[in-house]
């Protein structure tokens, strides 16, 4: 299958393209080609490559940057997404859109699933909601993957080799620098390779078109997840207590988007804890 991955230099895109290249003809599309908010740039590339599928992961993912520069965020996260979808429709390409759990209200106690009405708390989430709506209208043969906080081990051979949660812990241990975690925050944190497993299922059409929360569940707070990961890495309790400290001024929030539609399709995501153990065992 011929596939284009946008944002192929980013955290998810660089790992996704590495996996897909094992079985598919894959090309990357990023800002080095041109401004994706320019429709002609997008058309020129897609008309040349003629992909069977486009996986659109390119975005400005930093919430603060989106708030501070709304014009740039609008062009990068909304207009570029609509342009990709329009070109996909004209060239009969399927599409996977990488959305975010930020489309949901993080300050509600309700259980979040794919039928929960989007109610984002920031501009980034608002743009994701708007892009989802347009993409699903323009490209009916599309998947929307709402993902959250991702992590991985250091991975040679990818453009963005950051590790996320586990890298933070490694730096904290090596430099004896505390990590301040919000004990009142609950958010599903996912091993990116498990997320990619789901995206591969979408590529191979093993999941019906539609919206999916691609997340790894846990009952733990963000602080407790960090403690679990640190303990799983073999850090002793005494040092753990010195390095994982509560962020007392952090707001309570509950951004736990359950992967209900995946389960309805018979696909069971590993838990957050299982993902952490798997990542460590593969790389330690």
Same domain, yes or no: 201 and 243: no
Do the domain assignments include residue 9?
A: yes
CA distance 245 to 248: 9
**pLDDT (tens digit, 0 to 9) for every residue of the chain, 284 residues total?**
999 999 998 999 999 999 999 999 999 987 788 899 999 999 999 999 999 999 999 999 999 999 999 999 999 999 999 999 999 999 999 999 999 999 999 998 888 999 999 999 999 999 999 999 999 999 999 999 999 999 998 655 555 556 678 888 888 888 889 999 888 999 999 999 999 999 999 999 899 999 999 999 999 999 999 999 999 989 899 999 999 998 877 788 999 999 999 999 999 999 999 999 999 998 87
pLDDT at residue 32, rounded to an integer: 81
Please say whether the beta carbons of 66 and 73 come within 8 A: yes
pLDDT at residue 172, rounded to an integer: 86
pLDDT at residue 29, rounded to an integer: 87
Q: Which two tokens stand for residue 42?
A: 């997008």
Same domain, yes or no: 136 and 222: no
Please say whether the beta carbons of 130 and 78 come within 8 A: yes
Which residues are within 8 A (CB) of 206 and not within 5 positions of it... i.e. 6 or more apart? none
pLDDT at residue 31, rounded to an integer: 77
CA distance 207 to 6: 21
pLDDT at residue 248, rounded to an integer: 77
CATH number of the domain encompassing residue 23: 3.40.50.720
Closest CA to 155 of 6, 2, 17, 250: 17
Q: Which two tokens stand for residue 176?
A: 């004896």
Half-sphere exposure of 17 (CA within 13 A, CB side): 25
pLDDT at residue 106, rounded to an integer: 93
Same domain, yes or no: 126 and 226: no
Please say whether the beta carbons of 184 and 221 come within 8 A: yes
Same domain, yes or no: 7 and 111: yes
Domain with 37 in it: 2-150+188-214
Same domain, yes or no: 204 and 172: no
CA distance 14 to 177: 29
DSSP strand pairing (244-246 vs 179-181): parallel
Do the domain assignments include residue 88?
A: yes
pLDDT at residue 34, rounded to an integer: 82
Number of neighbours of residue 119 by Cβ within 10 angstroms: 14
H/E segment holding residue 57: none
pLDDT at residue 79, rounded to an integer: 97
Same domain, yes or no: 116 and 42: yes
Same domain, yes or no: 230 and 120: no
Domain tally, the chain:
2
Same domain, yes or no: 85 and 139: yes
Do the domain assignments include residue 259?
A: no
Please say whether the beta carbons of 147 and 191 come within 8 A: no
Do the domain assignments include residue 31?
A: yes
């Amino acid at each position: 299958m011929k596939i284009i991955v946008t944002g192929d230099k980013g955290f998810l895109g660089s790992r996704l393209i590495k996996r897909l290249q094992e079985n598919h003809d894959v090309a990357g599309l990023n800002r080095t080609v041109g401004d994706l908010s320019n429709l002609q740039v997008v058309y020129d590339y897609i008309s040349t490559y003629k992909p069977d599928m486009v996986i659109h992961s390119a975005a400005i993912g930093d919430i603060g940057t989106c708030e501070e520069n709304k014009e740039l965020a609008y062009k990068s996260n909304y207009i570029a997404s609509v342009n990709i979808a329009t070109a996909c429709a004209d060239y009969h390409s399927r599409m996977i859109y990488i959305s975010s759990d930020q489309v949901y209200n993080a300050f509600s106690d309700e259980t979040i699933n794919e039928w929960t009405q989007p109610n984002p708390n920031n501009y980034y989430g608002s743009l994701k909601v708007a892009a989802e709506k347009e993409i699903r209208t323009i490209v009916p043969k599309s998947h929307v993957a709402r993902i959250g906080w991702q992590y991985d081990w250091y991975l040679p051979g990818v453009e963005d080799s950051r590790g996320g949660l586990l890298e933070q812990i490694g730096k904290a241990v090596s430099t004896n620098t505390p990590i301040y975690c919000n004990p009142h925050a609950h958010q599903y944190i996912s091993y990116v390779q498990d997320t990619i497993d789901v995206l591969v299922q979408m590529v191979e059409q093993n999941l019906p078109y539609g919206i999916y929360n691609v997340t790894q569940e846990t009952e733990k707070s963000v602080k407790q997840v960090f403690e679990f990961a640190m303990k799983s890495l073999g850090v002793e309790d005494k040092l753990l207590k010195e390095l994982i400290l509560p962020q007392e001024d952090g707001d309570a929030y509950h951004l736990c988007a359950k992967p209900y539609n995946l389960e309805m399709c018979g696909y069971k995501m590993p838990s957050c804890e299982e993902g952490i153990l798997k990542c460590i065992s593969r790389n330690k």
